[in-house]
Structure 1
Amino acid sequence: MTGTRRFALIYGILFLVIGIAGFIPGLVAPHTHPAVAVQSWMGLLLGLFAVNILHNLAHVLFGVWGLAASGSEGAARGYAKATAIIYAVLMVLGLIAAFNLNTLFGLVPLYGNDIWLHALLAAVAAYFGWRRPHEYTTRSAA
């Protein structure tokens, strides 16, 4: 399995676990935010990351997508590139409170600790999406 396919598999598993964790009450501390219109399952995952039902479902979808993409090199590379771009945009939106962009127009909380987490997720995904695959050569015995 190539590094990019392994990346997609690991991200898929992580996103799926994080998405499911957002639905476990013991892992989500109570939290409300007046700018977030969708308050279902609203809280702080692990006491750090603002999530709601739409945020959790997005994580589950990214997880399923990652697992599916890990089946081929091309799909894994496309997943990595798309994840990098999407999470970079989400990170920037999280920084902009005007027009409720940091809550994606009141739908999904993107502020606080989510900002640096989205930046980290985007950076790792960009590495795997745009890196040049190493060509492995074998040394001939002398």
Structure 2
Amino acid sequence: MSTRVRSSGTARSPIQWAALAVGAVFLLVGVLGFIPGVTTDYDSLRWAGHRSHAQLFGIFTVSVLHNVVHLVFGILGLLAATGAAAARTFLLGGGVIYLALWLYGLLVDEHSDANFVPLDDADNWLHLGLGLGMIALGLILPRRPKTTTTTGTLADDR
């Protein structure tokens, strides 16, 4: 009887899968932000600022800048998924950025010109959840692919 540990050299680690999933969701959200119907009040979509009244799913205020940021984060996530260290950096760094954006959203008046993203209460709660979630994934997920152990006789391997 023999024991073998199998791991594909090209297998993604859990942290890479997380970066891939987060990146894919950001990419999808960025695209959806440009689709009328999915984004309500699409005709009020502005480049940036609090005067954009377009809302993704009728909940989250978006602007062209906001959508472009989602697209960029999505592409970065997909690229980061190619390596465990890059995936960890993407999740931790992105999480810190989203926590900073959450804090910024709490401090800036929604109707001021400083609200350039634009941000509102729904966005703020989402940014808090994204920031904490991305940091948690970056800290707890393994950086190595899962290995499988099989037990059997050499005859079983033919």
Task: Answer whether TM exceeds 0.5 for this pair.
Answer: yes
Distance change in 2, residues 1:12/1:140 (3 Å): closer
User: 1:88 corresponds to which letter in structure 2?
Assistant: L
Q: 1:38: Cα distance to partner?
A: 6.5
1:57 aligns to 2:68 (yes or no)? yes
Runs of 4+ in 1 over 4 A off after TM superposition: 134-141
Q: 1:132: Cα distance to partner?
A: 6.3
For structure 2, the 5+ residue unaligned runs are 1-11, 152-158
Task: Report the TM-score, using the length of structure 2 for normalisation.
Answer: 0.74
Q: Residue 50 of structure 1 contacts residue 112 of structure 1 at CA under 8 Å; is this kept in 2?
A: no
Query: Which residue is 1:109 aligned to?
Result: 118
**Highest RCO, 1 vs 2 (Cα 8 Å, sep ≥ 6):** 2
RMSD of the TM alignment (CA)?
2.8
1:85 aligns to 2:103 (yes or no)? no
Instruction: Give the structure with the higher percent helix.
Output: 1
Larger Rg, first or second structure (1 or 2): 2
Greater Cα shift, 106-115 or 20-29? 106-115
For structure 1, the 5+ residue unaligned runs are none
Q: Residue 5 of structure 1 contacts residue 76 of structure 1 at CA under 8 Å; is this kept in 2?
A: yes
| Per-residue deviation, residues 93-128 of structure 1 (Å, max 9, x unmatched) | 111134x6x878242112220111111111111112
User: 2:124 corresponds to which letter in structure 1?
Assistant: I
| Distance in 2 (alpha carbons) for counterparts of 1:137 and 1:26 | 45
